[in-house]
């Protein structure tokens, strides 16, 4: 009667007199359920503080919480319970599948109440409901960033999967503020070293956002710069896609592979080239790396003789990085320093090749040595490979003379 009429003082007197908090009516309703039905917030607080059981159900299978929801009284019911938790009273539940204090608070996203619950030591932070949801998943799904942060730092297992195969981080991606959840995960990884937690890739995240200090810290901790994320992207590919030239340079200096392809056939270079309308430092950095690797490692080319009058023949050609020497043999004449490197044939070469063909093949490029000797080569791979040879020769020669320039 006191619960139905909302007489909180009378209800407290009955509790003090030792009445059974969880006695039921013929329909199985407890006093707590009656309070929820008739929307008596103060009475809910009194019963919560006294230890009423939130895990009980009536003959219709309804609990106090479900009655409040069906009665469109969820917020007031929620606030009454949260107020009790915040002063240190953990709601009693004989059946956590009906009512879990931790899941209830995670749903609400109340950080103060969550701190009180975790601090009590009475909750299993990784409890999963019948759908496999844990508290950190619920916080992520509902967009409660600070509750999510608190649970993560309290040790919640973000690798857990619900019955749909989703992790907390995966669920967070459904929110408009998903970048804030990503920030929490990155900060946690930087502080605690939690790797690839539940679909979150710290190094990839830092690379995509251009956070140089974070990438330096993570690589120094041994994070592999060539591990693809769940979508097949490496950190370098993500940095390239965002146009972060300095980040690309840092990752390459730590061994990032420019040739890696994902399932779509995309590379770091192809992703960088999709950027339109902005200064594209990423493309420049990646091209420099590819060109440098090509000329320093070397490959087979066809060298033309006698200014194009003779027959071309195969040579293994490469550059010596420390000296900037281009070499295709042992003699001095075959170890040169280049003053110029250009795509395509010279006019003199074209005249000399007249009638012999392949003067204008897309793989033709030429160098002019410091002794003013012009030499023509032809590489496999057409124009793109010839461009890399020219770029690499210029780059390595310049670096040998002036030293490697800092990132612009």
What's the CATH number where 311 sits?
A: 2.30.29.30
The answer to the question of residue 181 being in a domain is: no
The answer to the question of residue 71 being in a domain is: no
The answer to the question of residue 68 being in a domain is: no
Percent of the chain with pLDDT over 90: 76
Helix (H) or strand (E) holding 187: helix 178-192
The answer to the question of residue 384 being in a domain is: yes
The answer to the question of residue 235 being in a domain is: yes
pTM recorded for the entire structure: 0.75
Kindly report the CATH number assigned to the domain that includes residue 268: 1.25.40.20
- Beta-carbon contacts of 68 under 8 Å, excluding residues fewer than 6 positions away, are 36, 74, 76, 77, 78
Q: Are residues 260 and 337 in the same domain?
A: no
Structural domain span for residue 253: 224-294
Computed over its alpha carbons, how large is the radius of gyration of the chain?
35
Q: Are residues 243 and 305 in the same domain?
A: no
Q: Are residues 365 and 288 in the same domain?
A: no
Which residues are paired to 303 by β-bridges? 313, 377
Q: Are residues 273 and 325 in the same domain?
A: no
DSSP summary character for residue 407 = P
Query: Among 294, 313, 334, where does a domain finish?
Result: 294
- Tokens in use for 273? 């080239």
Q: Which pLDDT does position 408 carry in this prediction?
A: 46
Q: Are residues 289 and 302 in the same domain?
A: no
For 235, phi and psi rounded to 5 degrees? -55, -40
Which SS3 state, helix, strand or coil, does residue 290 take? helix
The answer to the question of residue 355 being in a domain is: yes
Query: Distance between CA atoms of 168 and 140, rounded to whole angstroms?
Result: 6
The answer to whether the CB of 283 falls within 8 A of the CB of 270 is: no
The answer to the question of residue 53 being in a domain is: no
Q: Is 382 left (phi over 0), alpha (psi -120 to 50) or beta?
A: left
Q: Are residues 380 and 318 in the same domain?
A: yes
Quickly count helices (H) and strands (E) in the chain: 20, 6
Q: Which pLDDT does position 370 carry in this prediction?
A: 94
Query: Among 270, 294, 318, where does a domain finish?
Result: 294
Which one, of 24, 32, 166, lies nearest residue 91 by Cα?
A: 32
Cα-based distances in Å from 283 to 205, 213, 237, 248, 257 = 20, 22, 11, 9, 14
- Tokens in use for 103? 């899941």
Q: Are residues 318 and 285 in the same domain?
A: no
What is the torsional sign of CA 115, 118, 122, 126? Answer: positive
Q: Are residues 269 and 307 in the same domain?
A: no
3-state helix, strand, coil in the chain (%, to 5): 50, 10, 40
Query: Among 294, 319, 348, where does a domain finish?
Result: 294
Cα-based distances in Å from 185 to 151, 182, 190, 193, 352 = 11, 5, 9, 10, 65
Q: Are residues 312 and 391 in the same domain?
A: yes
The answer to whether the CB of 148 falls within 8 A of the CB of 178 is: no
The answer to the question of residue 98 being in a domain is: no
DSSP summary character for residue 324 = T
Q: Are residues 286 and 308 in the same domain?
A: no
Flag residues of the chain having pLDDT under 70.
Answer: 1, 194-198, 277-279, 355-359, 405-408
- Beta-carbon contacts of 136 under 8 Å, excluding residues fewer than 6 positions away, are 106, 125, 148, 151, 152, 156, 157, 158, 160, 168
DSSP summary character for residue 53 = B
Give me the number of domains the chain comprises. 2
Query: Distance between CA atoms of 301 and 379, rounded to whole angstroms?
Result: 5
Q: Are residues 253 and 325 in the same domain?
A: no
Q: Are residues 337 and 275 in the same domain?
A: no
Helix (H) or strand (E) holding 198: none
Query: Distance between CA atoms of 35 and 80, rounded to whole angstroms?
Result: 11
Query: Distance between CA atoms of 400 and 118, rounded to whole angstroms?
Result: 61
């Amino acid at each position: 009667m006191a619960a139905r009429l909302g007489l909180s003082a009378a209800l407290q007197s009955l509790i003090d007199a030792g009445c059974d908090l969880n006695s039921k009516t013929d329909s199985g309703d407890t006093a707590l359920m009656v309070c929820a039905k008739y929307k008596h917030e103060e009475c809910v607080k009194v019963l919560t503080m006294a230890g009423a059981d939130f895990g009980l159900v009536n003959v219709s299978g309804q609990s106090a919480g479900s009655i409040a929801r069906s009665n469109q009284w969820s917020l007031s019911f929620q606030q009454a319970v949260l107020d009790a938790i915040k002063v240190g009273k953990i709601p009693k539940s004989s059946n956590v599948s009906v009512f879990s204090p931790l899941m209830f608070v995670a749903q609400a996203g109340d950080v103060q109440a969550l701190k009180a619950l975790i601090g009590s030591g009475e909750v299993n932070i990784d409890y999963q409901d019948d759908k496999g949801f844990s508290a950190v998943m619920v916080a992520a799904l509902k967009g409660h960033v600070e509750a999510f942060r608190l649970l993560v730092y309290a040790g919640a297992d973000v690798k857990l999967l619900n019955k749909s195969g989703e992790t907390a981080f995966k669920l967070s991606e459904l929110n408009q503020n998903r970048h804030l959840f990503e920030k929490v995960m990155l900060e946690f990884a930087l502080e605690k070293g939690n790797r690839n937690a539940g679909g979150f890739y710290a190094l990839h995240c830092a690379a995509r956002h251009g956070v140089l200090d974070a990438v330096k810290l993570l690589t120094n901790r041994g994070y592999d710069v060539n591990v693809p994320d769940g979508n097949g992207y490496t950190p370098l590919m993500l940095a390239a896609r965002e146009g972060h030239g300095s980040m690309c340079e840092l990752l390459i200096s730590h061994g990032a592979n420019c040739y890696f392809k994902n399932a779509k056939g995309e590379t770091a270079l192809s992703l960088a080239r999709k950027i339109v309308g902005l200064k594209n430092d990423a493309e420049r950095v990646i091209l420099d790396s590819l060109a440098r690797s090509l000329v320093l490692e070397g490959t087979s080319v066809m060298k033309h003789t006698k200014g194009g009058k003779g027959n071309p023949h195969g040579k293994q050609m490469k550059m010596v990085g420390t000296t900037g020497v281009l070499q295709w043999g042992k003699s001095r004449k075959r170890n040169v320093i280049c003053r110029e490197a250009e795509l395509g044939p010279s006019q003199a070469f074209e005249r000399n090749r007249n009638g012999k063909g392949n003067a204008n093949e897309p793989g033709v490029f030429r160098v002019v040595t410091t002794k003013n000797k012009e030499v023509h080569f032809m590489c496999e791979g057409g124009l793109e490979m010839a461009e890399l040879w020219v770029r690499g020769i210029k780059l390595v020669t310049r670096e040998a003379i002036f030293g490697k320039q800092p990132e612009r």
